[in-house]
A and B are shown apart, each in its own frame.
Chain A
Amino acid sequence: MSELLVARRISARYGVEPDEPPVRAVDDVSLVLREGESLGIAGESGCGKSTLASVLSLNIHPPLAVTAGELEVAGRRIALDRPGWRRQAQALRGKVVALLPQGAMNVLNPTRRVGDFVYDVLQSHIPGISRKEALRRAAERFEQLSLLPRALEAYPHQLSGGMRQRVVAVVSTLLDPAILIADEPTSALDVTSQRALLKLMSGLLEQRIIRGIIFITHELALLRAVTHRVAIMYAGQVAEVGPTEAVLFQPAHPYTKALMDATIVLETGTRRQRIETIGGQPPSLVSPPPGCRFHPRCPVAMPVCSREAPPVVSVGEGRSAACWWVAERLGQTAAAAERRDGHAGGR
């Protein structure tokens, strides 16, 4: 399968004041999104997943700065640490890679109809497009995805929150981007609207309107419903990556397991069983703990974990985890040391 988006060893940070230490929100992250694939990125608040979304969607604005790494977006390579990347990014943003930001439903202007918003968006990217043409395109796309084109005539307050979110999601695809990056698109929606939005996102892929989706959320149960593969992030780094079902149901990394254990889902037989929580807090990204960043909260931490960064070890077909404990169990410690290139997301 060909690769649609490749992120190689990306590091990004927020420098608020020159004399203050920066927040290293993304630290040496490598990921691959394949053609026709939906990739999930999960982790607790503050693990850097939204920052990664900004970088991957080329929405990199101060105080956020990328300090290292390279992106390959639909065949085009951008070295994010070299001058001139901004011009390259500008050409791709919105057209090749689109971002559906957190709280997207709030982007609608309450005093203007949805159709006016659509016209604004299209006009800013396609100068000279007529209003009629803009609305025709939107209506066609709405119908394709089983949304009523009538919504174009509505004011935002006449639509429910779930409907507003779906409308903005569809509008973000009007320029036919190859990749859609959705950052927590379902937060603040009720379960019924979440289902509807997920169905819409799956529809985008199935109808080949979009060639790949990166879906960012902290809800593991939701990832399972829409993604093919997931990357679990912790403190700015990828802890584990692999096929969704395998990662969620046979987690290799202790952090993935802890996250799964803390997730409450409707399940017959598990009721009245106390859900275990992960003790402690995610670390500060200004001065993360040495060695493995998860070691202070890890139930199976070993002495080496607090000294040295963990090796990335292969734990099956297209799966890898960054963990000393896993490496030791698999006897891969020596071999792993040579492969410190980060998880490129498997073959």
Chain B
Amino acid sequence: MQAGGEGALLRVEGLTRTFGQGRHLVRAVDGVSFEMRAGEIACVVGESGSGKSTLAMLLLRLIPPTAGRIFFDGRDVTRLRRRAELRAYWRDVQAVFQDPFSSFNQFMTVRRVLGRTLGLEGRRLGPQERAERMAWALERVGLVPRTVLGKYAHELSGGERQRVMIARALVVRPRLLIADEPTTMVDASSRAMILNLLLDLRAEYGMAILFITHDVSLATYVSDTLLVMYRGQIVERGDVERVTAQPEHPYTRRLFADAFTFAARR
């Protein structure tokens, strides 16, 4: 599913978002530019408050940018306004968020959560096709459709909830998945499972993934490209091997130094 040579899947130019005004103006995202190919896993790393999540919200078109442009598949999507246009965009660009406890509506069953996302499809799906799509997505994340479809959030563990949220994003077969700290709230043991799942999805369907995390250990495990974000700006970017071996920006070096390792004590 490689998108040939005709350009980037996602292209961001000078993307900026400010909050507040005057003395209290905060440039949460400040002139960010980058590109992603189809099937690429890029990772935005940075500390809390560096603007990572605001960037995710902008790319998902959940909040409008102050300046800059977003191109998806060559099309300018910065000014999408109409509900129908946005819904078409979300068919291609889906997200998984940090907290599966708050992003999973506790009054809905798994079937209903998945069904609502299926509603993004432009056409009406028959009951047979809906059931198949849901079953495929759930199986893909390692859950048994028969047992989980009727369950509510409180009947699932944190790791299972997060996998349901990934299945929810998968039902529309997005071309880009934005994963904003998807493993911070789950156990260390479920974390590897979720990251392996993301790697497999890319390998099998060529889905591009923008992975957002504060933890460089996770970033180096899953990504091809690193985008290091600090105070709203991308201060360093490059191939993950290069950045890991020779971080250039002092902030990148600090991030790597802070990571916990099993290597000899420093």
A residues at B contact (CB < 8 Å): 44-46, 160-162, 187-195, 218-222, 224-225, 248-249, 258-259, 262-268, 271, 274-278, 281
Contact = CB atoms under 8 A, between A and B. Distances in A.
Contact of A267 (B190, B240, B241, B263): B263
Contacts of B160: 281
B48 A160 contact: yes
B14 interface: no
A188 B216 contact: no
Interface string B90-115: 00000000000000000000000000
Interface in B153-211: 157-160, 184-193, 195-196, 199
Given A265-B261, A275-B196, A161 B187 contact: no
Given A161-B48, A271-B244, A266 B256 contact: yes
Nearest to A42: B188
A271 to B, nearest CB: 6
Contacts of A219: 188, 260
12 contacts: A44-B190, A191-B255, A218-B187, A218-B188, A222-B260, A262-B193, A263-B188, A266-B256, A266-B261, A271-B221, A275-B196, A276-B192
Nearest to A219: B188
Q: Which of A45, A161, A194 has the most CB of B within 10 A?
A: A45
Contacts of A187: 184-185
Interface residues on B, range: 35 or more
Closest 10 CB pairs of A and B: A221-B260, A190-B214, A266-B217, A275-B192, A266-B259, A277-B193, A190-B48, A262-B189, A190-B47, A262-B192
A90 B159 CA distance: 37
A296 to B, nearest CB: 15
A192 B254 contact: yes
B220 interface: yes
B215 interface: yes
A277 B187 contact: no
B68 to A, nearest CB: 25
Q: Which of B188, B216, B254, B262 has the most CB of A within 10 A?
A: B188
Given A275-B192, A275-B196, A278-B189, A266 B48 contact: no
A193 to B, nearest CB: 7
A63 B220 CA distance: 43
Q: Which of A46, A221, A266 has the most CB of B within 10 A?
A: A266
Given A160-B49, A191-B214, A271-B244, A277 B192 contact: yes
Given A259-B188, A266-B216, A281-B157, A224 B221 contact: no
B48 A162 contact: yes
A274 B262 CA distance: 17
B166 to A, nearest CB: 15
Nearest to B160: A281
Contacts of B217: 221, 264-267
B100 to A, nearest CB: 12
B255 A192 contact: yes
B258 interface: yes
A265 B258 contact: no
A218 B160 CA distance: 17
A320 to B, nearest CB: 23
Given A275-B196, A277-B193, 17 more contacts: A44-B188, A45-B187, A46-B157, A191-B214, A193-B48, A218-B187, A224-B260, A259-B189, A264-B191, A264-B195, A264-B221, A267-B217, A268-B263, A271-B241, A274-B196, A275-B221, A278-B189
B262 A267 contact: yes
Given A45-B158, A191-B215, A259-B189, A221 B195 contact: no
Contact of A265 (B49, B158, B199, B262): B262
A263 B244 CA distance: 19
Contacts of B190: 44, 277
A39 to B, nearest CB: 18
A195 B260 CA distance: 9
Nearest to A245: B265
Nearest to B216: A266
Given A266-B217, A275-B196, A188 B184 contact: yes
